[in-house]
Amino acid sequence: MKKTHKSLTLGDLILAVSSQSRSNRETIAAVADLLGSGRVRLQAGRRAVRARVF
């Protein structure tokens, strides 16, 4: 099966997560987990950039 990658913005990710979250705190924790675990990657132009989550 071929994976397809759809380009979305960080704002799109936050909106999608917040629509399923009960609070802003839960949204922030979920987005931080997605970025920190590597399941979601940020990209600047054609170059992937690593998110540092503290």
Q: For residue 43, what pLDDT is reported?
A: 81
Q: Using the Cα atoms of residue 16, residue 13, residue 52 and residue 6 in order, give the sign of their dihedral.
A: positive
Would you say how long the chain is, in residues?
Answer: 54
Residue 4: both structure tokens together: 């397809």
Look at the pTM and tell me if it is higher than 0.85.
no
> By 3-state DSSP, what share of the chain in percent is helix, strand and coil, each rounded to 5?
45, 10, 45
Q: For residue 16, what pLDDT is reported?
A: 94
For residue 31, the tally of other CB atoms under 10 A from its CB is 20
pLDDT, tens digit, for every residue of 1-54?
A: 556 667 788 899 999 999 999 999 999 999 999 988 888 888 877 777 777 666
Q: For residue 53, what pLDDT is reported?
A: 65
How far, in Å, CA of 54 to CA of 39, rounded?
17
